[in-house]
Each structure stands twice: as C-alpha cells, then as structure tokens.
Structure 1
Amino acid sequence: MPDSLPLLRHLGRVDYAPTLDAMRTFTETRTTDTPDEIWLCEHPPVYTQGVAGLPSHVLDAAGIPVVQTNRGGQVTYHGPGQVVAYPLIDLRRLGIFVKEYVYRLEQAVLKTLETLDITGHRVPGAPGIYVNLADPAGHAALSWPRPDTFAGLGKVAALGIKVSRHCTYHGVALNVDMDLKPFSGINPCGYAALQTVDLATLGVRTDWPTVAQRLGDRLVSHLS
C-alpha cells in the first residue's frame, strides 16, 4: 500500500490546459497502489467553465481564454498571484465520501487563513470560502438565513472538483495578491455582483510561496 501522506508537488506557473490533461491522465491511469498527490501551481490568465456553466455568466472575456472543463460549478478565473491546489486523492482508500472531501478542502483553506489572522466563512449552498469585509479578522459567526446572502462578503477562495472512479482532481484556488479586474468580466461561480477579494485587499502582507506551502501542508494533513 502507498504511504498515507499525499505527495506535495510544487509545479510553479503552468498553463491551464496541459495541467488539466495531466490531471486527467493521472486519474485515469492510476491504480489502487498509486500514491495520492497534491499539485500546487498558478496559471496565466484563464477563465474556466464548469460542466453546468452558462455562457451568459461570461460577461466580457476581454481576450482572456475561456476553457470548458469537466469539473463541477460555474465559471471562475485563474491568474498569477493565486494559489491553485489540485488534490489527486483516492477517496475510497481514504474512507470518505464527496461531501466530507469538500468539507476537508474548505477546512484546509480556513486553517490556512487563520495563520494569516483572517477569519474565513462558509456560505450554505455556495462552495468556497468567504470573508466579512467589514471585519476580516473578527471571529463572529455569520447568521443564517440572511436577507442578501452575499451582502458584505468577499470571496477569497473558489472550489470546483471532479470525481472519477472515487478519485479526485481539480480542486481549490486561494487568491493571494492578484489583478482582480478579470473577475468583473464574469459572474463569479454563477453569482452576479459577487465581490472577489484577495489577501492583499484584506491587508495581509505575504507572498505566493508562503501561502502555497501553508495551504499545501494543511491539505496534506486533512487528506491523510
């Protein structure tokens, strides 16, 4: 049996399409003995559209490529300054189902944010991690239901996954310090006027390698 700890791979800045092909190939050719891996990378500017994505959610691509993918969810944006993590995990071997897997992905992001003195929040029915823009470091829980679900919130991490033969690919993206303008060209994750933020916007002074390593370490611990 493979080691219980996923192998953490730092890919650097890589194009999206060949990375997607590599994830798909890894997943399709892996066996029950293949060790799990977690890939950390960032991408040149690209919009990615999920299987349920509506073309109408792309408002103005402004020359940025739009790539159709086989992950869940709607359209999102990837670009420099964003940590993208792709866990390639055998859920059957780990002994969990998809709902628990999503919970663990989000929990890894929440714990990463904690190390940067930022409090993240889940929003029911809207995968990803959000922050209270009025008090990013405050520990008060959000109350539900809310008259306007996203009022006063900014999305700092997006999540979209694919599971094939009980094995995962695609993953989660955490915004560190990036050009946020391309998010205005879409309805992020299918939500009109949803504000997207990065750690720099929240006043966090850090860098991509630091956040990538912290997120990677927490994904390893939560997926072992």
Structure 2
Amino acid sequence: MELVVKQLGLVEYEPTWRAMQALTDARGADTPDELWLLEHPPVFTQGQAGKPEHVLQVTDIPIVPIDRGGQVTYHGPGQLVGYLMVDLSRRKLGVREFVRRIEQSLIDLLADLGITAYGKVDAPGVYVNTAGVEAKIASLGLRIRNGKSYHGLALNVAMDLTPFSYINPCGYAGLAVTQLKDLGVDSTPASLAPQLAAKINALLAQEGSASVADYALATKPATV
C-alpha cells in the first residue's frame, strides 16, 4: 500500500492547506494515501492551541492560523515540507505510532547523510547535538480527522533560519534550530525528496497495531 508521491515544487501555503482539507473530506475507503513534497514561500503557521506570546516579533511574513496541533513554526524556501494524507484506520496505525514512524523516517534519512539524529518523547520532532548544543532540525505538526491525517513534517535543508528568531519555535523559548547546510550537507529539498519518500513508504508499509486508546485520539489535532 504505497503512498502516491507528488513533488509540487514551491507553492503558496494557504491553497495547499485547503487542498489537503478537501482531499481528506472527499476521500473514501479506497482512496489512495498521498505524500506531497514541496517548499513554501516565507510563512509562519500557528496551531489551534497556539499562544500569541510565542510570536516574539511581528514582521512582513504572514502568520496563518491553521488547524493542526502545536504552536507556531516557520516555513520558507530551502525547507523540505512533507504533507501526509494517510488513512490511519485502514493501516491500523495509532496516532502515537504514526508520529514515531514519521520521526524515524527523518532519522533514517539523516543517518544516510552521516548525521546522528534522534526524537524526544516530551518534544516531538527531530534533533541533533553538535558540540554539546541540541538543535531542532525537523518539526512535525498533524491533524487527524476521522482516522485520517493531513499536515506533516518540515526538514530544514538550506534556508534562511533568521525568521525562527522571531518566534519561540514550536512554543519552546530559546530552542536552537539548525539545518543540513550548517552540518556540511550540500543538498536541496528537491534532491532529498525521493529519498525521504522512500523512507516514509518503507516505514508506513510495516503492519500497524493501533489500540482503542489510539483511535480515541484520532478525531483530535495531534499536538506535535
């Protein structure tokens, strides 16, 4: 049950978000799952529980309130964004396991690039530690509605990280943020997209075993 992978290039945030919602609302029992890989022009997105105090400086970069979980984050050119429209019920995947597998796909990709990365139970996303300093290199933010996901992940590849200083990234004051370019990897989002798609497809192909408790979460935003 492979994902249908679409590479969309550089696309505006709001129309892409609305298209995710429309696909999720229209899908039936046999609708294929999809992975959209893309970049966005500069934009801040604020999750449903987002607190305004996490925006430290107002700029000309738009702030878009959206329906995923979590706090505020930044998207911009040079960041690989992956949106996952997945029927978790059909794959027998609970929310927690789904998040873990997305994180693992990023960790595996980074390992192939010679970078040791890890996830954190108390602060979802993917992190690296260089010279004793922990920094976030990828974030996750999902919406699960009727057992089906949209939104997804963002991996910092080769971008201007300055806008992250205008916010508390994902609601964490003082959180350091890094990217592949600063870790010595000369890649682009487009060049990494096929590798990431392969990692995600492989991990989601593994048989799931969602619990009743997991499915009880499946109509709520995932705060990640």
Indicate the residue corresponding to 1:163 in structure 2: 144
Match of 2:34 among 33, 37, 46: 37
1:92-136 per-position Cα deviation (integer Å, ceiling 9, x unaligned): 11111100000000000001101110011112210100000227x
Tell me how far apart the structure 2 counterparts of residues 222 and 39 of structure 1 sit (CA, whole Å). 17
Deviation of 1:206 (Å): 1.8
Indicate the residue corresponding to 1:7 in structure 2: 4
Counterpart residue type for residue 208 of structure 1: P
Indicate the residue corresponding to 1:215 in structure 2: 196
Tell me how far apart the structure 1 counterparts of residues 122 and 180 of structure 2 sit (CA, whole Å). 23
Indicate the residue corresponding to 1:65 in structure 2: 62
More helix by share: 2
Aligned residues: 205
Do the aligned partners of 1:76 and 1:189 also contact (CA within 8 Å) in 2? yes
Structure 2: gaps spanning 5 or more residues: 206-224
Do the aligned partners of 2:39 and 2:189 also contact (CA within 8 Å) in 1? no
Structure 1: gaps spanning 5 or more residues: 136-151
Per the normalisation by structure 2, the TM-score is: 0.90
Per the normalisation by structure 1, the TM-score is: 0.90
Do the aligned partners of 1:61 and 1:186 also contact (CA within 8 Å) in 2? no
1:170-198 per-position Cα deviation (integer Å, ceiling 9, x unaligned): 00000000000000000000001101110
Match of 1:124 among 121, 128, 147: 121
Tell me how far apart the structure 1 counterparts of residues 5 and 41 of structure 2 sit (CA, whole Å). 21
1:20-45 per-position Cα deviation (integer Å, ceiling 9, x unaligned): 00000000110011011100000000
Q: Name the SS for the 1:123 alignment partner.
A: coil
Q: Percent identity?
A: 49
Indicate the residue corresponding to 2:174 in structure 1: 193
Q: Name the SS for the 1:31 alignment partner.
A: coil
Match of 1:174 among 134, 155, 158: 155
Aligned alpha-carbon RMSD (Å): 0.9
